[in-house]
C-alpha cells in the first residue's frame, strides 16, 4: 500500500524543474532551483549517512523513483519526453482497433496471466489481483455490473462475478475512475478515462514525466461497450492533472443531461456529451445526487497539500449543475482539509454525510446535515479511520483511497474504507472495525479501499480495493478487543476478482536457467512467482 504520509509528490527531481515542498533530505541540504539526477542522488546519499533509515519514513519512494529514473535519463540527467509515450499510445490504440475489426490479423502476443487471485505463500495479508477503482450496476439486471480498473480498463459480468468480459482493450489508455450508466438505456455508458486516485501525487510538479495516471476525458458507448468514442469533454495526456475527471452523473429524467467534475471544475451537457459547459472552476473531488430529486446535486471541492491548490467546500445545485451555492459547513478552505467525500442516505435524502481528509491524509472529521445541507455539525469520531492500525496513529491515505457510503435502509449506518474497513450504527458518532488489511485477525478484504457501494436490486455490498472486488450481504463489526482475543471478523466476504487480467506489474524478470519461470513485482499486490504452471505471491 502507499505510505501513510505519501509525500513523494513533493519531490521535484530533475533538470529544469523547480523544487516545491521537497523531501526532508532536500530541505535540510538546502537544495533549490534546478538540480540534475546525479546531484539528486548525492543529496540523498549525504542525507542518508546521518540517518537510521529503518526509522525514517517516505525515503523508499525516492529510491523507487531513483531506480526507475536511472534507466530513463539521458547523459545530461534529463527525463524522457512525454510526447514519445503519447504518440506511441495513439499508434498502439489504432493497431488494436484494426486488429479487433479484422479476423485476418494474427496477434503476436499471448496473454500469460495471472487470471485469478494467486496462491498466498506469504500468509501475512490478503492476496489480490489488481486495483479496482469503481463499480456500477445495471439498472434492471441484478447479475450484471461493470467495474473500472486503475490500469486494466472496463470489465463487465453478466453472472454476478463468475466470469468477466473486457470492454476497452482497444482504447488508447485503460485506466478508469468512474462509470455512469443510462438508467433508461443500459447500452449507453460513460466512463472517466483516467486514474484520479493519484492526483495527490501532483505528477505535473514532481518532474518524473510519468504519464501513467493522466486521462483523456469522458468516453461514451451506445452499444454496451463494443465501441467507444470521446465526448466533447476531452483532454490530452500532456494536460497533466487537468485531464483528471472524478465523477459523472446522469439525469434519469433526461438522459441527455450529464454533469461531470474533476481537477478543473464542474461541466454540464444537455446533448449527451456532444458539447459541455463549465459551471464551476475549482478542484472537485466528488459529486452526489439526491435519490428522490435528480436535479438536486451536491459537489465537494478540495485543497491539495502537495501542490497547495484548491479550496475545500461543499456546494449545492437545484438545477442539475447549472448554478451552485456554497453551503455553510464550516469546513476550513485551505491548510487543514484536503479531500471531501459525500454520502447521502437513500432512505432519507435530508441526511448528508461528508468525510473530510486532513493534511496528512488521515481523518479530519465527518460533517453531517439532517436538513438537506441547510445546517451542518462537525463530528470527531474519536479514531483515525484512515490509518493502518486500530485508529490511534496519525496520517493515512485519504487522498488515494477512500470508500464512504450510507446503508440504503438505515440512515444512521455509515461505512468508511481506507486502509481498513469501519462502520458506524449511530450516525457516525462512533465507529468499530469490520476488516483489517493483515490476516492477523482472520479472513479479511484486501487493503486500500476505494469504493463501497450497495447493489440496489439485491442489497449486496461491494468493496473495490487495491486487490480486487469483494462482495458481502452484510458488513458486521466487532471491537478491537475481540479481534485481539482471536475472534475472527464476523463479516463473510466473497472475492469475485477471478477471470480478470488486471495486475499492474512494475518489474518482470525471467529465469536464466529454466524456461517458464517468472518473478514480477505488482502495485500493492506483492511479488508474484510463476513456477511453470501457476502463479503465487512469495513476499511483499
**Buried b or exposed e, range 174-185, using 16+ CB within 10 angstroms:** bbbbbbbbbbee
297 by DSSP, 3-state: which? strand
152's grid cell: 486494466
Residue 55 is predicted with a pLDDT of 66
Residue 53 is predicted with a pLDDT of 73
Mean pLDDT score, 315-332: 99
CATH 2.130.10.10 location in the chain: 127-495
CATH of domain 127-495: 2.130.10.10
- Rounded to whole angstroms, the Cα distance separating 214 from 263 reads 11
**348 burial via Cβ count (<10 Å: 0-12, 13-18, 19+):** middle
450 in Cβ contact with 403 (< 8 Å): yes
Query: Of 287, 290, 311, 309, which Cα lies nearest the Cα of 300?
Result: 287
Apex CA 174: angle with CA 221 and CA 176, to 5°? Answer: 70
Q: In 10 A of CB 138, how many CB atoms?
A: 18
Q: In 10 A of CB 78, how many CB atoms?
A: 15
247 in Cβ contact with 178 (< 8 Å): yes
* DSSP label of 362: S
483's grid cell: 479481534
Phi, psi of 24 (to 5 degrees): -60, -40
Higher pLDDT, 192 or 89: 192
- Rounded to whole angstroms, the Cα distance separating 490 from 496 reads 19
pLDDT confidence band for 106 (50 / 70 / 90): low
Query: Of 533, 539, 540, 530, which Cα lies nearest the Cα of 508?
Result: 530
Apex CA 7: angle with CA 70 and CA 30, to 5°? Answer: 75
319's grid cell: 438545477
131's grid cell: 486495483
Residue 34 reports pLDDT greater than 80? no
User: What's the pTM value of the predicted model, to 2 decimals?
Assistant: 0.83
pLDDT confidence band for 7 (50 / 70 / 90): very low
pLDDT 10s digits, 333-352 = 999 999 999 999 999 999 99
Give the sign of the dihedral formed by CA 67, CA 69, CA 73, CA 75: negative
Place of cell 498502439: 92
Residue 66 is predicted with a pLDDT of 79
Amino acid at each position: 500500500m502507499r505510505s501513510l504520509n505519501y509525500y513523494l509528490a513533493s519531490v521535484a527531481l530533475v533538470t529544469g524543474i523547480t523544487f516545491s515542498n521537497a523531501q526532508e533530505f532536500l530541505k535540510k541540504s538546502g537544495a533549490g532551483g534546478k538540480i540534475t539526477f546525479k546531484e539528486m542522488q548525492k543529496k540523498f546519499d549525504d542525507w542518508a549517512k546521518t540517518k537510521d533509515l529503518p526509522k525514517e519514513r517516505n525515503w523508499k519512494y525516492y529510491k523507487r523513483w531513483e531506480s526507475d529514473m536511472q534507466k530513463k535519463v539521458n547523459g545530461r540527467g534529463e527525463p524522457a519526453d512525454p510526447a514519445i509515450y503519447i504518440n506511441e499510445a495513439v499508434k498502439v490504440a489504432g493497431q488494436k482497433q484494426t486488429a479487433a475489426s479484422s479476423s485476418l490479423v494474427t496477434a503476436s502476443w499471448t496473454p500469460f496471466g495471472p487470471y485469478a487471485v494467486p496462491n498466498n505463500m506469504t500468509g501475512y495479508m490478503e492476496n489480490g489481483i489488481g486495483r479496482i477503482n469503481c463499480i456500477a450496476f445495471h439498472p434492471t439486471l441484478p447479475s450484471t455490473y461493470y467495474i473500472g480498473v486503475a490500469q486494466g480498463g472496463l470489465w463487465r459480468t453478466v453472472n454476478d462475478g463468475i466470469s468477466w468480459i473486457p470492454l476497452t482493450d482497444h482504447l488508447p489508455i485503460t485506466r478508469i475512475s468512474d462509470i455512469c450508466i443510462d438508467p433508461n438505456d443500459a447500452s449507453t455508458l460513460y466512463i472517466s478515462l483516467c486514474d484520479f486516485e493519484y492526483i495527490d501525487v501532483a505528477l505535473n510538479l514532481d518532474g518524473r514525466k510519468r504519464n501513467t495516471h493522466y486521462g483523456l476525458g469522458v468516453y461514451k458507448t451506445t452499444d454496451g461497450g463494443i465501441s467507444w468514442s470521446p465526448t466533447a469533454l476531452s483532454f490530452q495526456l500532456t494536460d497533466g492533472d487537468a485531464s483528471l475527471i472524478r465523477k459523472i452523473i446522469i439525469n434519469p429524467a433526461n438522459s441527455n443531461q450529464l454533469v461531470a467534475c474533476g481537477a478543473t471544475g464542474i461541466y454540464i451537457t444537455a446533448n449527451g456529451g456532444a458539447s459541455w459547459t463549465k459551471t464551476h472552476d475549482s478542484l472537485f473531488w466528488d459529486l452526489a445526487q439526491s435519490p428522490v430529486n435528480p436535479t438536486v446535486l451536491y459537489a465537494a471541492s478540495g485543497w491539495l497539500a502537495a501542490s497547495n491548490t484548491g479550496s475545500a467546500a461543499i456546494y449545492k445545485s437545484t438545477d442539475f449543475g447549472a448554478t451552485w451555492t456554497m453551503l455553510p459547513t464550516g469546513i476550513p478552505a485551505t491548510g487543514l482539509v484536503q479531500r471531501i467525500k459525500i454520502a447521502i442516505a437513500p432512505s432519507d435524502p435530508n441526511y448528508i454525510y461528508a468525510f473530510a481528509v486532513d493534511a496528512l491524509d488521515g481523518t479530519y472529521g465527518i460533517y453531517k446535515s439532517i436538513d438537506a445541507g441547510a445546517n451542518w455539525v462537525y463530528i470527531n469520531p474519536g479514531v483515525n479511520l484512515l490509518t493502518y492500525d486500530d485508529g490511534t496513529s496519525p496520517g493515512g491515505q485519504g487522498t488515494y483511497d477512500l470508500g464512504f457510503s450510507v446503508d440504503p435502509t438505515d440512515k444512521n449506518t455509515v461505512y468508511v474504507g481506507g486502509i481498513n474497513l469501519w462502520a458506524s450504527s449511530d450516525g457516525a458518532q462512533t465507529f468499530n472495525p469490520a476488516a483489517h488489511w493483515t490476516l492477523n485477525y482472520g479472513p479479511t478484504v484486501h487493503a486500500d479501499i476505494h469504493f463501497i457501494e450497495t447493489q440496489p436490486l439485491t442489497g449486496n455490498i461491494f468493496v473495490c480495493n487495491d486487490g480486487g472486488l469483494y462482495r458481502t450481504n452484510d458488513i458486521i463489526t466487532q471491537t478491537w478487543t475481540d479481534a485481539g482475543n482471536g475472534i475472527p471478523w464476523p463479516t463473510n466476504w466473497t472475492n469475485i476478482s477471478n477471470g480478470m487480467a488486471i495486475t499492474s506489474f512494475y518489474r518482470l524478470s525471467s529465469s536464466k536457467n529454466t524456461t517458464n519461470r517468472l518473478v514480477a513485482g505488482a502495485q500493492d499486490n506483492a511479488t508474484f512467482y510463476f513456477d511453470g504452471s501457476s502463479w503465487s505471491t512469495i513476499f511483499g
